[in-house]
Amino acid sequence: MGYLTMQDGTELYYKDWGSGPAVVFSHGWPLNADAWDGQLLFLAQQGFRVIAHDRRGHGRSSQSPDNNDMNGYADDLATVIEALGISEATLVGHSTGGGEVARYIGRYGTDRVTKAVLISSVPPIMVQTPDNPDGLPLAVFDEMRATLAKDRSQFYQDLALKFYGANRSGAKVSKGVLDAFWAASMQAGLWNAYQCVAAFSETDFRDDLAAFDIPTMVIQGDDDQIVPIKNASMKTAQMVPGTQEVYYPGAPHGITATHQDQVNEDLLTFLKS
């Protein structure tokens, strides 16, 4: 564990566990690298080197006023990969992190990457546009920003319920998981979290997906209340030939926690394939 300095002086916290083939994780908004702990511990115990960083403005990383967009996030990921001497890596991204992975491949190619996994991820594009009529209206994200700015603490408590499907009848989500989501979210700078909404919702990743030339897997729950599955993983799979599709019936957005064991096994199978 330690810090790396980005090109603009921003300090990024990272954790680097285990040894073996490298797996690099990019977390969702507005969390941090700890969101991956269930996967990091499991894969490190299975003989993999696992790396995860706190995105700029999130967790223990600097709350940078600049470059809080997908290009900035991808450039940071590239710096982490290069600084730690990572090659032949599998990149794994959840939600916003899936966009980060896609933009990294779009900007830097796959010279250092052998596989990619997008979990409940935002590509190809979330917002509704003339050529993406199935997307969510911009008003949805405008309301998100307004609520975030007014009372981010309550916003994150409310978001946690949808994120993990705790608002569904019969849901079995612990108070600890919900509390951990709130605590991690409150570590994110308000400026950074606010700007990141545009990054994950309005960025068009379609050209980035066209650059994928490596084995790719998408994983998502079909009751995702944050990133609609039909306009996310299912469309990504159509755009990246040969994509392996894994869908969990009735599962929410935050499946790395609610379906930790299942995600871990699916990751391990894909990594060994």
Amino acid of residue 53: H
Query: Which of 53, 58, 94, 253 is an active site residue?
Result: 253
Q: Is 224 a catalytic residue?
A: yes
Radius of gyration of the chain (CA): 17
Helix (H, G, I), strand (E, B) or coil at 48: coil
Instruction: Please tell me what DSSP assigns to residue 8.
Output: T
Take residue 105 and report the two structure tokens written for it.
């491949």
In this structure, the number of other CB atoms found within 10 A of the CB of residue 149 comes to: 12
Cα 3 to Cα 54, 60, 84, 112: the distances in Å are 10, 9, 11, 21
Query: Which of 54, 75, 224, 266 is an active site residue?
Result: 224
> Which residues are paired to 24 by β-bridges?
51, 91
Q: Give the rounded distance of the alpha carbon of 205 from its chain centre.
A: 14
Q: Is 158 a catalytic residue?
A: no
SS3 track for 72-101: HHHHHHHHHHHHCCCCCEEEEEECHHHHHH
Q: Do residues 84 and 184 touch, judged by C-beta distance below 8 A?
A: no
The C-alpha atoms of residue 98 and residue 119 are separated, in whole angstroms, by: 7
Q: Is 8 a catalytic residue?
A: no
Q: List % helix, strand, coil for the chain (3-state, nearest 5).
A: 45, 20, 35
Query: Which of 62, 95, 185, 201 is an active site residue?
Result: 95
Residues with catalytic function: 95, 224, 253
